[in-house]
Structure 1
């Protein structure tokens, strides 16, 4: 599956799982390595970096920003292979 198709389906699933959330696509040309998606839900937020597979290469700075944003709130690399686990962890984070 192409990354953009995975991302489009993921956005639909996020909106279904978290009614009323705002999902924003970040501009990688503005900050190199910033995660693809920012999810705003009630008084919480999270970021997700979409990958087409678990073995897909990571761009410069992606690990840095995912780690930094995870320390602030919640951030993960997400791909078809770990999607269910990441969405479960996100639900736990948004409920806490």
Structure 2
């Protein structure tokens, strides 16, 4: 599966899990390495860097931003192999 196909399905799953959330794609041409998706839910936010699989390479600065943004709120790399785990963690973070 291509990354954009996985990302489209993931956005639908997020909107189903968190009714009334906003999910938007961030522009990596503005900040090189910024993760792909911003999720706004009630008074919380999260950012996800979407990869097509666990072996997909990380681009420059992606690790930096995922770590930095996780220290602020919630940020993870997500791919099919870890999706269930990440979405469970996100659910706990948004519901706390």
What interval of TM-score do these two structures reach, taking the shorter chain for normalisation?
A: over 0.9
Report the Cα distance in structure 2 between the residues aligned to 1:12 and 1:62, rounded to whole angstroms.
23
Partner of 2:63: 63
State the 4+ residue runs in structure 1 displaced beyond 6 angstroms: none
Matched position secondary structure for 2:47: strand
Query: Which structure 1 residue ranges, 5 or more long, are not aligned?
Result: none
Report the Cα distance in structure 2 between the residues aligned to 1:90 and 1:13, rounded to whole angstroms.
12
The reply to whether residue 52 of structure 1 matches residue 52 of structure 2 is yes
RMSD: 0.3
Matched position secondary structure for 2:49: strand
Partner of 2:94: 94
Q: TM-score, normalised by structure 1?
A: 0.99
Q: How does 1:72-83 map to 2 (within 5 A)?
A: 72-83=72-83
Partner of 1:26: 26
Q: TM-score, normalised by structure 2?
A: 0.99
Shift of 1:89: 0.2
